[in-house]
Amino acid sequence: MIKTVHYLSKERIVAFSDGVIAIIITLMILDIHFPKITNTLTGNEIWLELSKMLPSIFAYMVSFYGLGVFWVNHHHFFFMVKHSDRNLLWLNLNLLFWLSLIPLPTSYLAEHYNSPIATTLYGAIMFLCHTSFGLLFSYASKNDLIVNKYSKKRIKQIIRMIIFSCILWLIAIAVGYISTYFSYGLTLLIALLYFLPQNIEVDEEVAN
pLDDT at 48 over 60: yes
Mean pLDDT of 74-79: 90
DSSP per-residue letters across 141-169: HHTT-B-TTB-HHHHHHHHHHHHHHHHHH
Number of H helices, E strands in the chain: 9, 0
pTM for the model stands at: 0.83
Sign of the alpha-carbon torsion through 52, 99, 77, 153: positive
pLDDT in tens, 115-152: 899 999 999 999 999 999 999 999 998 888 888 777 77
pLDDT of residue 97: 97
pLDDT confidence band for 24 (50 / 70 / 90): very high
pLDDT in tens, 88-113: 999 999 999 999 999 999 999 888 88
Mean pLDDT of 49-76: 86
pLDDT of residue 91: 95
- Residue 120's φ and ψ, nearest 5 degrees, are -65, -45
Sign of the alpha-carbon torsion through 154, 155, 160, 166: positive
